[in-house]
């Protein structure tokens, strides 16, 4: 990321007041974005994917304007760009994202104070870099992989054709054999009734 266009977003995420836990009114997360590559839709989708909202809830995005001491709402890419332009010097933006129902009136977030600006630690499981951190178990024996044994029957030499390939059917249709004498289907040459007897005799002589 370009340091000139990189911003640190300090987001205060507030859940639906009717569904959230009473002991937690909100929790805080941080996110680093590039203002040249970020747009409003992608930013909201990234937050919602990481912290999903409830069914049929709407997402409202606000940021804290330190000059006017209020919380303007962000709904478009132009308003998001204006938010970044107001924090060019500090490179830190305090935002508030609320989840609410469509029928509820979205309230303007309260101003930041020393009490509500404290960061709430979110429990998370750190990732393991390699197999050295895998749990070790000792059952008194070692389980080897199963031995490779040959199966009964003759090995298959030809590839099985798929159902979409030509002649891919597993069942042979009746009458697919062509008689070499009369060029008709459905019988063998030695049972041919329409062919020349001389041709049949010549075939018998070859056999």
| DSSP of the chain | --GGGEEEEEEEEE--TTTS-TT-S-EEEEEEEETTT--HHHHHHHHHHHS---TT-EEEEEE-BTTTTB--EE-SHHHHHHHHHTTTTT-EEEEEEEEE-TTSPPPPPPPP-TTTTSPPPPP-PPPP-SGGGSPP---SS--PPPP--PPSSPPP-SPPPPTTSTT--SSPPTT-PBPTTT--BSS-GGG-SSS-HHHHHHHHHH-
Kindly indicate the confidence band of residue 182, based on its pLDDT and cuts at 50, 70 and 90. Answer: confident
Prediction pTM value: 0.50
**Do residue 96 and residue 180 come from a single domain?**
no
Q: Is the pLDDT assigned to residue 192 strictly greater than 80?
A: yes
- Rounded CA-CA distance 63/42 in Å is 17
Q: Are residues 178 and 94 in the same domain?
A: no
Q: Domain containing 92 — which CATH number? A: 3.10.20.90
Q: Domain ends where: 100, 126, 146?
A: 100
Looking at the structure, do residues 8 and 91 belong to the same domain, yes or no?
yes
Residue 112, in any domain of the structure: no
pLDDT at residue 121 is higher than 50: no
- In this prediction, residue 126 carries a pLDDT of 61
Q: Which domain holds residue 29?
A: 3-100
Is there a domain that residue 50 lies in? Answer: yes
Identify whether 60 is part of a domain.
yes
Please check whether residue 93 lies inside any domain of the structure: yes
Given a cut of 70, whether residue 10 has pLDDT beyond it is yes
Q: What is the mean pLDDT of residues 141-169?
A: 77
Residues 7 and 95 in one domain: yes
Number of domains observed in the structure of the chain: 2
Instruction: Find how far residue 98's CA is from the centre of its chain.
Output: 25
132 domain-assigned = no
Task: Write down which residue in 100, 115, 133 finishes a domain.
Answer: 100
Enter the tokens of residue 7: 């911003």
| Closest C-alpha among 48, 43, 25, 30 to residue 107 | 25
- In a domain, residue 142? The reply is no
Residue 9 lies in a domain: yes
Question: 130 in a domain, yes or no?
Answer: no
Residues 31-52: pLDDT tens digits?
Answer: 899 988 889 999 999 988 888 8
Domain boundary among 47, 73, 100: 100
């Amino acid at each position: 990321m370009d340091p000139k266009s990189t911003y640190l977003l300090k987001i205060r995420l507030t859940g639906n007041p009717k569904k959230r836990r009473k002991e937690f009114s909100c929790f805080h997360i941080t996110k680093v974005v590039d203002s040249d590559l970020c747009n409003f839709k992608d930013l909201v989708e990234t937050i919602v994917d990481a912290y999903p909202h409830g069914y049929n809830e709407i997402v409202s995005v606000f940021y804290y304007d330190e000059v006017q001491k209020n919380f303007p709402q962000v709904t478009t890419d132009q308003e998001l760009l204006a938010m970044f332009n107001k924090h060019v010097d500090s490179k830190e933006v305090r935002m508030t994202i609320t989840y609410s129902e469509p029928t509820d009136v979205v309230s303007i977030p309260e101003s930041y104070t020393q009490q509500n600006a404290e960061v709430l630690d979110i429990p998370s499981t750190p990732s393991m870099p390699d197999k050295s951190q895998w749990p070790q178990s000792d059952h008194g024996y070692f389980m080897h992989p199963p031995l490779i044994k040959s199966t009964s029957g003759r090995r298959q030499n030809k590839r099985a054709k798929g159902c979409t390939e030509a002649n891919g059917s597993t069942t042979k249709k009746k009458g697919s054999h062509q008689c070499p004498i009369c060029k008709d289907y459905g019988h063998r040459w030695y049972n041919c009734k329409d062919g020349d007897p001389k041709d049949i005799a010549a075939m018998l002589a070859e056999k």
